Structure 1
């Protein structure tokens, strides 16, 4: 899920952004996210190999019961928080400058984002937070939604609310915690389950939309937006089939609305059904419509398992691992496939029916153009950690590698995800969600219902043995 493009639009009339718009970008956001994620992993490993660790930089509040203990912990790590902000600001600013965006405005807005994220971590570290379900991802999303819909955000904050950028960096870092051996084992299952869901959900939404007299291109954008990867898919397919800009906007609005509903509903339903973490993560990965929202839901359920004292079965990390295997490894690869297939259909059939000029060739490289490049970074990170792990026994990996190398990367990943969740809330307006129209809403909602039920059946019954064993 991403509203980073919309966020950037919010302040586009400022002088700094006008100048930035004239600069030619170097690379793409996907590749810069890959570069930053792999750079962080390389630094972490370099320090680990030299007998040190990056964990002094990967700070987060400790569990606290009273304000006195909290104050002492924050004071003891004040230098670490300052260094962490500088580190994030520097590496992010390099990418922002290369993309031709206003660095000064980004840094100012990012400072606010960092401070608020730190406060969210503080609330999440409260000893009673689990009792009230105050998990950082959900706090960030809820707080952002409240602020964005009650107050008018200043334009200078908009350049820092880059949802896709933060989530892509976080996913690359996530690869460092998910060895390739696990992907090789569960990946085929994830791809198979994702294939079933992608095909069924697309044709349900597309068929319903056509029955409601919605134009073919618009129906295709709605269908892929629900079947694959939400906002990214809607944007990619709108370009591939040459849909109108407002049609892509409606699809994005529907994706954002339902993704927000699901980020709260799926963890709650998973807990009500007593689902183990691996199965819940797979269900979330199958039924959510956006990477960021799904990661928030999966991480919240994993945190619940971690702090609920056995009330939720399964390894806490299994929820997020299953989500990534289902969504990133499984469903997201369908963006390129759908873009390529629908581009052929649009140019060979729909254009001809509409009397438009038909392109003589549809380039096979469309798959590569639309393929989410951050998945490559995820796989590289996973392969690297697999290589590192091969030099240790399992006991040594858990006692030596995990605390000094993997755990700090997990902490940095959690910061990146929190930036993302907060940005989602701050860039989502309920007023926009209410202006989509009845027919597109009806078609998409039918797809949502089918997606959720099918995802549950596949995750909790058909492929349950695979997801149950995840993390064991």
Structure 2
């Protein structure tokens, strides 16, 4: 396993623990831990809310400021809150990583630096003029991370704190608490249907293009799943299913990350230029992005743009992230297990053996092993808040439940996303793309084109009424 860690880039190393054989059942990997951490936060918030209190004291975030003096005073007035928040997050993430055998002596110092950097970025995005320059926290975190990682050599121990998928999965579970289950069931079938069309079209485009360009079929399959489903997690899952070479998985991850970052900026810009509503844009982003974290960044950026556009962008600002989540988490991410099972079966029965002559197993356990467990956390969180909301009228829900229960959970979700976006930037080496060669790049880019075009047609024309109804 140490050899794998050396081959994969920084972001991929965060997934290596998830690829190990399960030893602790429901505490086996970061996927499960993201479920327990997210649900624990929601249950604590609910318990406080039920007793007339709230999690607002812990869920602290910088307030809007005009001058540096205002920003400093805001920090001084809440330093105890930030200290408590750091301690809580370090305890939650650190416990999970410790059980998984990770070094806390490396993680905690790295996480402290990451937290402080995220706080500074969060503060910068709270500047009253930030929206004019599109300095939303996710994009700002990503941009700063990219600059640092591509100009400064970060110490190896610092990589222990850059748990990209861990942060984003916890954030997605927390996101479930802001989405009613009725909305999930209503839009879910549309998301699954749209995702099925895009997943099949994109996979076969990349796979067939890769084979036509002379790539090994296992390599082409890993590239195809990486583009068709959910990026890094899918690439690692499919690589294990077909027993692809380690360096092939690394190349797939690099291409996924680079294109995901490109789409963070392209898709919101194109959506605004085309005059798309927030919900339709979120669905297009969910269909066309290649990683959960990058997609959330793009969707949140478009939602923030709508919030500050004074009505120039149609739809509720939150609809962009809601539509993206339904499209990506409910629709596309469930294909990880499906593709892993199908490819494991194909590799066993058609491609015979892997390099070492070990037969790949194709059974129901493969689907369960590769299924993204954080989806369960998302659904449970949504169901819990839906049950709580059922005891209130819509007016009381907005007046009582939203500020004292949902709002602090949303703030903690934003913290998780910001930690994730900064980690993506700090683990992405743009120069590593030059080592991949032109054939994998060309095959994957063909899938990008198909992905974006079909995603646009389905989101803007075929299923537009559904998505606009979501953002109504």
State the TM bucket, normalised to the shorter chain.
over 0.9
Q: Which runs of 5+ in 2 are unaligned?
A: 1-5
Shift of 1:10: 7.8
TM superposition shift of 1:71: 2.1
Q: Describe the superposition over 1:142-197 as per-residue Cα deviations: whole angstroms up to 9, x where unpaired.
A: 00000001111122211000001001100100010011100011000000000000
Deviation, structure 1 residue 123? 1.0
Structure 1 position 79, deviation (Å): 1.3
Q: What is the Cα deviation at residue 9 of structure 1? A: 8.3
Distance 1:353 1:104 in 2: 38
Q: Tell me the equivalent position of 2:322.
A: 321
Q: What is the aligned partner in structure 1 of residue 229 from structure 2?
A: 228
Question: C-alpha displacement at 1:407, in angstroms?
Answer: 0.6
For 2:3, the equivalent position in structure 1 comes to none
Alignment of 1:250-265 (within 5 A): 250-265=251-266
1:416 matched to 2:416? The reply is: yes
CA deviation string 1:79-99 (max 9, x = no partner): 111111111111111111111
- Counterpart residue number, 1:305: 306
Give 1:127's aligned residue. 128
Aligned 1:90-109 pairs, distance under 5 A: 90-109=91-110
C-alpha deviation, 1:356, in angstroms: 5.0
Contact 1:284–1:297 (8 Å) recurs in 2? yes
TM-score for both structures, normalised by structure 2: 0.94
The aligned counterpart of 1:14 is none
- Aligned mates of 1:413, 1:355 — CA distance in 2: 43
* 1:387 Cα deviation from its structure 2 partner: 0.5
Question: 2:449 is matched with which residue?
Answer: 449
Aligned to 1:372: 372
DSSP 3-state at the match of 1:313: coil
- C-alpha distance in 1, partners of 2:182/2:256? 33
Q: Aligned partners of 1:269 and 1:471: how far apart in 2?
A: 19
- In structure 2, the partner of 1:7 is 10
2: CA distance, partners of 1:244 / 1:134: 40
Describe the shift of the 1:90–1:354 C-alpha distance in structure 2 as closer, same or farther (beyond 3 A).
Answer: closer
Post-superposition offset of 1:118: 0.6
Q: Does 1:458 align with 2:461?
A: no
Cα 1:325–1:9, aligned 2, differ >3 Å: closer, same or farther? closer
Give per-residue Cα distances to partners, 1:391-444, cap 9 Å, x unaligned.
111111111000000010000000000000000000011121221111111000
- Contact 2:8/2:247 (8 A) holds in 1: no
* Superposition deviation, residue 27 in structure 1: 2.1
The 5-angstrom pairing of residues 357-396 of structure 1 reads 362-396=362-396
Aligned to 1:120, the other structure's residue is in SS state helix
Following the alignment from structure 1 to structure 2, what is the Cα–Cα distance between the partners of residues 64 and 55? Answer: 20
- Bigger mean CA deviation after superposition, 435-444 or 69-78: 69-78
In structure 2, distance between residues paired with 1:197 and 1:109: 38
Relative distance call for 1:124 and 1:224 in structure 2 (3 A) is same
Aligned match of 1:182 = 183
CA contact (8 A) 2:11 2:427 kept: no
Contact 2:174 2:381 in 1 (8 A): yes
Contact 1:58-1:411 within 8 A present in 2 as well: yes
Corresponding residue for residue 115 of structure 1: 116
Residue by residue over 1:444-464, the C-alpha shift from the partner in whole angstroms, topping out at 9 and shown as x without a partner, is 001101100111111011100
Unaligned residue ranges in structure 1 (runs of 5+): 12-16
Mapped partners of 2:115, 2:362: distance in 1: 44
Q: Distance in 2 between matches of 1:397 and 1:357?
A: 56
**1:56 counterpart SS class:** coil
Aligned residues: 459
User: TM-score if structure 1 supplies the norm length?
Assistant: 0.94
With over 3 angstroms needed to count, the CA separation of the structure-2 counterparts of 1:266 and 1:148, relative to structure 1, is same
Preserved CA contact (<8 Å) 1:4 1:161: no
Q: Which residue of 1 aligns with 2:73?
A: 72
In structure 2, relative to structure 1, the CA distance for the partners of 1:438 and 1:9 (3 Å cut) is closer
Q: Give a deviation string over 1:193-218, Cα, whole Å, max 9, x none.
A: 00000001111111111111111111
3-state SS in 2 of match to 1:365: helix
Alignment of 1:155 with 2:119, yes or no, is: no
On the 8 A contact 2:8/2:250 being kept in 1, the answer is no
* Mean CA deviation greater in 71-80 or 108-117: 71-80
Go from structure 1 to structure 2 and tell me whether the alpha carbon gap of 1:109 and 1:358 turns closer, same or farther (over 3 Å shift): closer
- Partner-residue secondary structure (3-state), 2:127: coil
Tell me the SS of whatever aligns to 2:372.
coil
**Change over 3 Å in CA distance of 1:402–1:357 after alignment to 2:** closer
Secondary structure of the equivalent of 1:351?
coil
Is the 2:340–2:366 contact (alpha carbons within 8 Å) kept by the matching residues of 1? yes
The residue correspondences of 1:338-357 to structure 2 (distance < 5 A) are 338-351=339-352, 356=357
What RMSD, in angstroms, separates the aligned Cα atoms of the two structures? 2.1
